[in-house]
Structure 1
Amino acid sequence: MELTRRDALAALAAGGAGSLAGCAAPRASDDGTGEREGEAATVGDHEMETLVAVAEVVYPSTVDGVSEFVRTYTGGRVDGEDAYARGVAAAVESLDGYTEEFHGDRYAALPASTRREVLDYMSVDVVEPAPDGTAAQRVRYYVVNELLYAFYTSPTGAGLTGLENPPGHPGGTESYREGPNG
């Protein structure tokens, strides 16, 4: 199963960002030139590499095209949201600090099996996500949940789980006439 750029754009649209992805509309802190006062928050190469590394262990192993999907989704998601970009950067820094303490290297540099163990030992799968919580809660909120949201709101991810046309959403006359089991 192949994730595509189109899947990432559909996931962005599902979250309300699709119509603005890639646009540079002036904001209140802009001076009209598109330049922001102070330092603009972005998700850099290292953060992006880490997001891809996390996606490779939390997405189903049958999925291909993870890197392009994550990069397209995150680029559109971050555009215009400085707080989100700072949150992602802080969560990645926490994740790297944890892995450097126990494995002597950054998260993205570890083999996939070790990356999966790191998330388990950090208890990312059982903590409540919180943007201002503990390191594990921030990683869950800004990294894992965001990546899973992107995946399962994409046509490919939704199709994998059988949710490509959930009840209550339009799907044409065929889906209306057929029951949930086809």
Structure 2
Amino acid sequence: MELSRRDALAALSAAGVGSIAGCAAPTATGPDGGESAGGGRASETASVVGDHELETLVAVAEVVYPSAVSGVDDFVRTYTGGRVDGAGDYAAGVADAVAVLDDYATELYGGEYATRSREDRADALDYMSVDAVDPDPDGTDAQRVRHYVVNELLYALYTSPTGASLAGLENPPGHPGGTESYRTGPE
């Protein structure tokens, strides 16, 4: 199933993002209004979501999304671009979680998360136990990665019309169906 820009916009709408017009590309910038230093990688003094963070989010999505899904790169970039626009604390949390994930992958495999093979990326998430911890934006490293990266990406997927249909949800949030749609069981 092909994820589209429309799916990303629907997920943003479900997330309660205000105006999402024209959010085809991320708009996160550094503290001086320019791109973040280091080719988009967040530094300790400027936590922003740039190219490196987006690349890492796409790499995580490729691991946690079902294999039947395509168009992941554009979907994640559109969703994240709209999600981080104007959300300083959220953007800082995402950048921090990506840095933690990179540090963890570097310790395990000798390179940043996005540069590793799909198998190594899946193993890194398993070793970090992000599937076993409760998401907490102020918690441990694994809890922050789960909150800002894994859960956010899964939320985006399953609140989109395409992702919801993968889970068998006929009426994802924001789509009509009336009271009969949730009272009637599957056929």
Task: Check whether TM > 0.5.
Answer: yes
Give the drift of 1:133. Answer: 1.1
SS in 1 for 2:133: coil
Give percent identity, aligned residues only: 66
2-structure distance, mates of 1:126, 1:148: 15
Contact 1:22 1:79 (8 Å CA) reproduced: no
Match of 2:96 among 90, 97, 122: 90
Residue identity opposite 1:13 in structure 2: S
Indicate whether 1:179 and 2:152 are aligned. Answer: no
* Partner amino acid, structure 2, of 1:133: G
- Aligned partner of 1:63 in structure 2 is 69
Cα root mean square deviation, aligned:
2.5
The 3-state SS of whatever aligns with 2:138 is coil
What is the deviation of 1:175? 4.3
Partner of residue 20, structure 2: 21
Partner Cα separation in structure 2 for residue 118 and residue 138 of structure 1 = 15
| Bigger Cα displacement from structure 2, 79-88 vs 39-48 | 39-48
Shift of 1:20: 1.2
Query: In the alignment, residue 8 of structure 2 is paired with which amino acid?
Result: A
**Residues 128-182 of structure 1: CA deviation (Å, up to 9, x unaligned):** 1111111111100000000000000000000111113169x74159848x83224
Query: Which of 81, 103, 107 in structure 2 is aligned with 1:75?
Result: 81
- Counterpart CA distance in 2 for 1:60 and 1:144 is 13
- Per-residue displacement from partner, 1:26-81 (whole Å, max 9, x unpaired)? xxxxxxxxxx9x55653100000000000000000010000000000000000110
Task: Report the TM-score, using the length of structure 2 for normalisation.
Answer: 0.82
Give the length in aligned residue pairs: 168
Secondary structure of 1:127's aligned partner: coil
Q: Which runs of 5+ in 1 are unaligned?
A: 25-35
- The residue type paired with residue 13 of structure 2 is A
Gaps of 5+ in 2: 24-28, 34-46
Is the counterpart of residue 106 in structure 1 residue 112 in structure 2?
Answer: yes
